[in-house]
A and B are shown apart, each in its own frame.
Chain A
Amino acid sequence: MSKRTLIRNVHLFDPANGHDGPGGVVLYGDRIVAVFGGDSAIAADADVVIDGQGATLLPGLIDSRVHLSEPGLEYRETVGETARLAARGGISTVIAQPSTAPAIDRPQAVYAVSHRSQGGKGARMQTLGALTVGCEGKELAELGLLAEAGALGFSNGTAPVGPLDTISRALNYARSTGLTVCLGQMDAVWGEPGVIGGELAARMGLGGIPALAEVMSIERDLRLVEMTGVQAHFDMVTSAEGVNAIRDAKARGLPITAGTGIAYATLTDIAIGDYRTHAKLHPPLRPDRDRLGVVQGLADGTLDTLVSDHRPIDTDHKRVPFEQAEPGMVGLETFFSLALSLEDRGVSKARLISALTSAPARVFALESGIRPNAPADLTLADLDRPRRLSEARLHSRCRNFNYEGIPARGVVLKTYVGGKLVFERA
């Protein structure tokens, strides 16, 4: 028999449902059954009472771009570990990319993700399906069967969807599933192995990837969205011009959504310094004018979602010459604090929390929010408590981390998934 749990003495914060003030919630089973303002006497009714001591209660965070290492690279991180690290970071739902090895391009692979995450206490593990077989951009994956199996949408991982005929057919077909397709991945044709376009590439003798590679992909994909009517999410917009392209398209009335990775709002190509491979990301880090454009996009709502783009890479694949190094950084545990740091850069708290909760929920049709009958996915956090980000404090096995010694604020105290407490700060 399920127990009634009361979480009281918290500051409810959920812009999508109009909460910003003291209150509490009552959980029963895996659902929220009551939400109240102030500190009422519903307490009497509960089997378990939790005193939030004035901390902030948020809808559980949704990280909609995470790279799994299992199957194929379990030594970096298992799905169970990913789920637990996410919970530690206040994330109640992880949406994984399909570009594992092998790719999530058949229904069994979708089941396998949720199956592998069981047994571990942690975030809900959801996944996108591959748009094309093996994310190779050649043949259509079984989009309908993937959708039936529970894929929340489609993506081609980090690869662009391939030649025009393939992508237009894929988008046309995907429309029949009613799910969202992630688009706008920069075109690999431009992407010499390397870091960035411009001055740094010239100075360091590395191949450049101009921001134009992303902008042209976005503009091309926008036309295809217009043509096919598919529901599209440009999940990794990382350049100022890319943000402008999305802003123009939204102004034209195209029903698209867009997002970016936390690295592109907080880091620039300066982080690459003397060939620091941890700062080798895909898409590459860019100059400060692009970072400012991305932050502006988050502030004005052009960019709806914010993701960690968590990708664990072991030392052996980072401690090599820059061109050989695998791109990516870990991010689940520090995602929330780094996101909050954008409040100092002009993005409102309401916008930030929406980008981590209601916006991804809307894009991928997930139930979310602090309201009766919603799933009891909740994050209790002290938004003002200072912390210093440090590799030494990470629980991740992989240490490809870019924020050593950075002061931040925001500490996750408790994470609930489906009414179950999956993380509690000791």
Chain B
Amino acid sequence: MTQSFPPATIGYGFSHAHLLGIDPLKPGEIAYLLDRAAYFAELEPGEAPDALAGSTVINLFFENSTRTRSSFEIAAQRLGADVVNMDVATSSVKKGETLIDTADTLNAMRPDFLVVRHGQAGAVKLLSRKLDAHVLNGGDGKHEHPTQALADALTIRRHKGKIDGLTVAICGDIRHSRVARSNLLLLQKMGARVRLIGPPTLLPNSYEALGVEVYHRMDEGLRDVDIVMMLRLQVERMAGTLIPSGREFFRFYGLDRDRLALAKPDALVMHPGPMNRGVEIASDIADDLDQSVIREQVEMGVAVRMACFEALATRRAPTTLRAA
């Protein structure tokens, strides 16, 4: 399957010390990561190369997470790394330690990789400046969540054979979504057309400056799209009153059969999870194995995280990677 995607010729490979976001990556680097991930996805769990043997990975999650943290943990273990989960909720951070002091402390333990999730945009970048380890962004505030975007891209590529030329609608709570931000950056870099759909309070018009099409009505935005990407309504981030209620949101922005019929007949339905059934997506669509690839996104999550670990571990120069 991998072979059907000819490697992009420019900048194919990966040469960053950290994976902080999609923004710094070139199309060739994204293609490289996706190719490697596609390879890992075909392997049985025991067959993976032990590219991380002898390495230590610290999962440092300042925000709660089950799926992302487990996914990073499994990916690192399949490549032979030792994984330590730092439970920040009970650590010195709660006792008032600053982020910089935490970085110094962790540095002294000499980990090889640090996977960080933090509630504030830019915090992962700040940590990466102070650490000798490779830092992977597991989500920073409302900024980026690069590995989720890579998992989504791989899922799309497995089904559509390409990303270039597709029309993708990202729907719902755009404003609070780091997943949406990373996805729109990645999809645009790889040649897809991106539409954003959501109520004006959750989708400010300023997003038009990012080169996307902004829609405030599902019926207009979903027409003839190849991919429908739903987002979780992040009720916990809505300090103010951004939408009146869950049921009103579902009435106008939820994905049901009638709305999905507006998209192309073979459109894929995606959701980064966790889902609020009946708020942004109808249960029967979420469970429809013909159209929904939600479970596959999770599976691909492990594969792309393996690819990211491997790419950082080897940090191969772009020119030596053609044969990969």
Query: Chain A interface (Cβ within 8 Å of chain B)?
Result: 197-199, 201-206, 208, 274-275, 316, 319-324
Q: How far is the CA of A206 from the CA of B121 in the complex (A)?
A: 7
Known contacts A206-B121, A206-B142; is-contact A321 B99 (Cβ 8 Å): yes
The reply to whether B122 and A275 form a contact with Cβ atoms under 8 Å apart is yes
Q: How far is the CA of A195 from the CA of B208 in the complex (A)?
A: 19
The reply to whether A202 and B122 form a contact with Cβ atoms under 8 Å apart is no
The reply to whether B210 and A203 form a contact with Cβ atoms under 8 Å apart is yes
Known contacts A198-B209, A199-B210, A205-B181; is-contact A322 B98 (Cβ 8 Å): no
The reply to whether A323 and B207 form a contact with Cβ atoms under 8 Å apart is no
Within 8 A of A (CB), among B92-120: 98-100, 118, 120
Known contacts A202-B204, A202-B207; is-contact A320 B141 (Cβ 8 Å): no
Q: Kindly state whether residue B125 has any CB partner on chain A within 8 Å.
A: yes
Q: How far is the CA of A275 from the CA of B21 in the complex (A)?
A: 14
Known contacts A206-B121, A274-B125, A275-B125; is-contact A323 B99 (Cβ 8 Å): no
Number of interface residues of B (CB under 8 A): 23
Chain B residues near A275 (CB, 8 Å)?
121-122, 125-126
Q: Which of A316, A319, A320, A321 contacts B121 (CB 8 A)?
A: A321
Q: Kindly state whether residue B73 has any CB partner on chain A within 8 Å.
A: no
Q: Kindly state whether residue B90 has any CB partner on chain A within 8 Å.
A: no
Query: Chain B interface (Cβ within 8 Å of chain A)?
Result: 23, 98-100, 118, 120-123, 125-126, 140-144, 178, 181, 204, 206-207, 209-210
Q: Which of A197, A316, A324 contacts B206 (CB 8 A)?
A: A197
Chain B residues near A205 (CB, 8 Å)?
121, 140-144, 178, 181
Residue of B nearest to A317 (CB): B98
Residue of B nearest to A192 (CB): B239
Known contacts A205-B141, A205-B143, A275-B121; is-contact A198 B206 (Cβ 8 Å): yes
12 pairs of residues in contact across A and B, judged by CB atoms under 8 Å: A197-B206, A199-B210, A201-B206, A202-B204, A205-B140, A206-B122, A208-B206, A275-B121, A320-B100, A321-B118, A321-B121, A324-B120
The reply to whether B143 and A204 form a contact with Cβ atoms under 8 Å apart is yes
Closest 4 CB pairs of A and B: A205-B143, A275-B122, A205-B142, A199-B209
Chain B residues near A199 (CB, 8 Å)?
206, 209-210
Chain A residues near B141 (CB, 8 Å)?
205-206, 321, 323
Residue of A nearest to B120 (CB): A321
Q: How far is the CA of A34 from the CA of B244 in the complex (A)?
A: 72
**What's the nearest-Cβ distance from chain A to residue B11, in Å?**
21
Chain B residues near A320 (CB, 8 Å)?
98-100, 126
Q: How far is the CA of A205 from the CA of B137 in the complex (A)?
A: 14
7 more contacts with CB within 8 A, not counting A203-B181, A274-B122, are: A204-B121, A205-B141, A205-B142, A205-B181, A206-B122, A319-B100, A322-B121
The reply to whether A322 and B120 form a contact with Cβ atoms under 8 Å apart is yes
Chain A residues near B210 (CB, 8 Å)?
199, 202-203
Known contacts A205-B143, A205-B178; is-contact A321 B206 (Cβ 8 Å): no
Q: Which of A198, A208, A316, A322 contacts B122 (CB 8 A)?
A: A322
Q: Which of B120, B144, B204 contacts A323 (CB 8 A)?
A: B120
